[in-house]
A and B are shown apart, each in its own frame.
Chain A
Amino acid sequence: MRPLDEKETTQVFEKLFKFTGPNLKHLLDRPAVQGPDAEPGRYCLRLHRNRVDYASEALVRRATAVSRPRLAGVGTPIGRFTHHGAFHLTAHALDLLAAHARRRVWLKPDTERSFLFGSSVPKSSLARVTENAKAGDGVVVMSMADVPLGFGIAARSAQDCRKADTSAVVVLHQAGAGEYLREEEELM
């Protein structure tokens, strides 16, 4: 477990920025609620093997007592670095992103299943979109009951969504809650 170096931090921040925008600052500056310490520290990112975890400082300090081969993770995993050094956000980051993301997309009730199975969101499944979504933005996909289902990249801006035809892809699926069932072994 070690802190990320500059290059890695840039990569992680860039990916997160697509979802949170300027809220990213809040992500790192807010007082921590995890951990046994009475006095809240802040949250930080730590790299363990090739996984990036988001944990409070108190947790991290406790985790230094666990030996490296035995440490499974600290706090919430956000994503992982691939073999060649690219960073991908994983499904575990859903809670965090859902809390801090700027753009959301609501799906119709019958079409939730299709998204959970890993397909992209066509326009026909869209119930609501936040107003100022732009193409290439990170977007959190929610059900009508405001339950976060997953996240992805917006393929079109909010205005273009209205003009597009019903089968046009609106959100490209990146990760979703369905992965917990479908790809259980791979997630850990």
Chain B
Amino acid sequence: MAEGPAATTIAASSYEVDLGNLMAYDPSHHIAAASREELRQECLRKGTELAQALADALFALPPNEDRDGPIVHLSLPTVRLPREKHLPKPKPPTKWELFAKVKGITKRKKNKREWDEQTQSWKRTYGYDRVNDDKDIPIIEAKSTDEPGVDPFAQRRDEKKKRVEKQEKNRLENLKKAAKIGALPRLLSFTSKCCFPPPLYYECLFVSGRNLAELQLSNIFCMQSIQLAAKALPIIGTKADLPKKSRKEDLESVVGMASSATASGGKFDEKLPDEKPPKHPGKHRKFLPVAEGKGMGSLEKQQNDKILNSLLARNSDEPLDVGKASSRIQPLT
């Protein structure tokens, strides 16, 4: 404020301008303001200077003339912005991983092609025309335990279906466990629009300028999260936001409330054939009578005695008052 225009121009050259982030920063700036109003003025003034520096830098770049106007390519950002979100939490080991660790099972690489003895050719391990396909079994020999009338091919198909379902259930359980501790990446809002890979991929490119490999990985994660969302979890939010399925106790209590919500408390309503009597008729808390017959009745006395005794028992850590005992000692005659 007390500096002249010369000082400001000198200072202007020392601003750090990051064109990639469109940011201008003055490392030598000290705010010397007394009141709020002054502070505001100071901030506006300084901000104007910095914005001017930024504009100067922008217009100093060589422009390409386009039909919409001059276009400049901004350089890559020099200032690395801090993480927006927290570091991803490590995923908990899946059920299989735990089991494998216990048993000492290590992963082994499978070859893409395997030798098929039956057709004497190299076949894929998975996919179309694969090695041990269920469809290719021509004859299944009957065992002594087989019942007549049971189709072994259909049986095999059913078993496979069950195995696949079980595996899918386990996979979702693993995902749920990971989601519970927050290890799954949160869904970005654009995933709510569609589930197809290609548009997702392009929108990823538009939203975040990260490299392709990261994007594809995050795609897979997002796909899995979408599948989980389809099953149980909400798109945004936690499990607590889900509408809870009404439990039997909730329904019973609501029925009780409704049945007594008449003018005479539901006393004279006809009951349905299988309806049970209400569990809490009228009073929900029972108190002892204020004055029972002639003076304090036995119930109150019992209650008081019980509490008193337990209190005394708990605090009877002074079995002997040494002071009193010593004062009572009488000399032997």
Q: Which residues of A contact B (CB under 8 A)?
A: 1-3, 5-6, 9-10, 13-14, 17, 21-22, 24-25, 28, 41-42, 44, 46, 57-58, 60-61, 64, 131-132
Contact = CB atoms under 8 A, between A and B. Distances in A.
A44 B315 contact: no
B287 A9 contact: no
Contact of B290 (A3, A13, A25, A41): A3
Q: Is the interface of A mostly helix, strand, loop or mixed?
A: helix
Given A3-B300, A9-B303, A17 B323 contact: no
| Residue of A3, A13, A64, A132 ringed by the most chain B CB atoms within 10 A | A3
B254 interface: no
Contact of B311 (A3, A13, A44): A13
B283 to A, nearest CB: 12
A22 B287 CA distance: 27
Interface string B266-297: 00000000000000000001011111001110
Given A3-B290, A46-B290, A60-B291, A22 B312 contact: yes
Contacts of A6: 303, 307
B66 interface: no
A30 B308 CA distance: 15
24 contacts: A2-B288, A2-B290, A3-B288, A3-B289, A3-B290, A3-B300, A5-B287, A9-B303, A10-B307, A14-B311, A17-B311, A17-B315, A21-B315, A24-B308, A25-B308, A41-B295, A42-B295, A46-B290, A60-B290, A60-B291, A61-B291, A61-B295, A131-B323, A132-B321
A60 B291 CA distance: 7
A77 to B, nearest CB: 17
B298 interface: no
Nearest to A6: B303
A1 B290 CA distance: 7
Contacts of B119: none
Contact of A25 (B294, B312, B315): B312
A146 to B, nearest CB: 21
A60 to B, nearest CB: 5
B192 interface: no
Interface in B288-333: 288-291, 294-296, 300, 303-304, 307-308, 311-312, 315, 321, 323
A24 B304 CA distance: 11
Which 9 residue pairs spanning A and B have beta carbons closest together? A41-B295, A57-B295, A3-B288, A61-B291, A2-B287, A9-B307, A57-B296, A60-B291, A44-B296
A64 B315 CA distance: 36
B296 A13 contact: no
Q: Is the interface of B mostly helix, strand, loop or mixed?
A: loop
Nearest to A12: B307
Contacts of B321: 132
Contact of A28 (B289, B308, B312): B308
B287 A42 contact: no
Contact of B291 (A64, A131, A132): A64
A3 B311 CA distance: 19
| Residue of B291, B294, B323 ringed by the most chain A CB atoms within 10 A | B291
Contacts of A28: 304, 308
Interface string B153-166: 00000000000000
Contact of B307 (A2, A13, A21, A46): A13
Contacts of B300: 3, 44
A132 B303 CA distance: 31
Contacts of A22: 312
A61 B289 CA distance: 11
Contacts of B287: 2-3, 5
B87 to A, nearest CB: 41
A123 to B, nearest CB: 22
Contacts of B308: 13, 24-25, 28
Given A3-B290, A10-B307, A41 B296 contact: yes
Contacts of B288: 2-3, 5
Nearest to A14: B311
